[in-house]
Amino acid sequence: MKVVGSLDAMRAARASLPDPLGLVPTMGFLHEGHLSLVRHARAECASVAASIFVNPTQFAPTEDLSSYPRDLDRDLEMLEAEGVDLVWTPSEDEMYPAGFQTWVTVETLTRPLEGAHRPGHFRGVTTVVAKLFNAFQPQRAYFGQKDAQQAVVVRCMAMDLDFPLQVIICPTVREADGLAMSSRNSYFDPQQRQAAVVLFQALSRASEAFDSGEREADKLRQLMTETLAGEELARLEYISVAHPDTLEELSGPIDSGLLSMAVFIGKVRLIDNMLVGEQRES
């Protein structure tokens, strides 16, 4: 496995890798969720590359950029064990040199949900992902359903800007009790860790109700809100039943939907989601 820091070294190493190349962009502090993306890429591509970059432009000034967990040595060991061919670990200066002023913005899809609560977040995401796509020239790029809106936004950006690649969305990997794996789970004390499962419980309750015939979007939102209210450490930021493609909030009876939420457990902000109905993951 080759590990490179500069863009020039990365391009040189990439040029010797066989196509199709699968790219897995990450912010590091890897867990089984990230590794599942690598495994999908490894199974489907002739070569696999990953990036590890805690992207400052997708964090608001009030967010956890400086405390975001990092462990590069461990990350590289994990990627090597999965058979990754190339890892790029750019510095902030390499990614955003002095004078940088070009941004990629996806419009309507970034307004609701995360976009409404994290202004500027998706502009940072789509800009860095566009730069990664340009740098690596992958034929396939792998993202997690865990970040459902990001998946929809990145897919739209790739299509609108004619990137000649396929965006592949992999299912959310969960802990044994259902908590979606996240680098931010490392912030929790044991009591908070236990409370954090309430997101999965709320989503499961609504999803099971849907499977039993409940189709009213309002009722599904109410079931999730009630479940969250039962956990005193949880503070709800938003709860949503939205169209899985347009991300528009739904009302009345639905055939399919994206159930999603953002919840604070203490100071840690968690997001999670489940698809229900026709477009559901198998």
Q: Are 212 and 271 in contact (CB under 8 A)?
A: no
Q: How far is the CB of 219 from ligand AMP (least distance, A)?
A: 28
With respect to ligand AMP, which residue has the nearer C-beta, 25 or 257?
Answer: 25
| By CB under 6 A, residue 172 contacts ligand AMP | yes
Which residues are annotated as catalytic? 34
Of the candidates 128, 173, 271, 275, which one interacts with ligand AMP according to CB under 6 A?
173
| By CB under 6 A, residue 10 contacts ligand AMP | no
Of the candidates 182, 185, 227, 273, which one interacts with ligand AMP according to CB under 6 A?
182
| By CB under 6 A, residue 36 contacts ligand AMP | yes
Which of these segments, 141-149, 193-201, 204-212, 243-251, binds ligand AMP (CB under 6 A)? 141-149
| By CB under 6 A, residue 183 contacts ligand AMP | yes
| By CB under 6 A, residue 165 contacts ligand AMP | no
Closest C-alpha among 222, 277, 280 to residue 255: 277
* Contacts (Cβ under 8 Å, ≥6 apart) of 208: none
Q: How far is the CB of 50 from ligand AMP (least distance, A)?
A: 9
With respect to ligand AMP, which residue has the nearer C-beta, 151 or 217?
Answer: 151
Q: Are 96 and 9 in contact (CB under 8 A)?
A: no
| By CB under 6 A, residue 33 contacts ligand AMP | yes
| By CB under 6 A, residue 146 contacts ligand AMP | yes
- Residues near ligand AMP (CB under 6 A): 26-27, 33-34, 36-37, 143-144, 146-147, 170, 172-173, 180-183
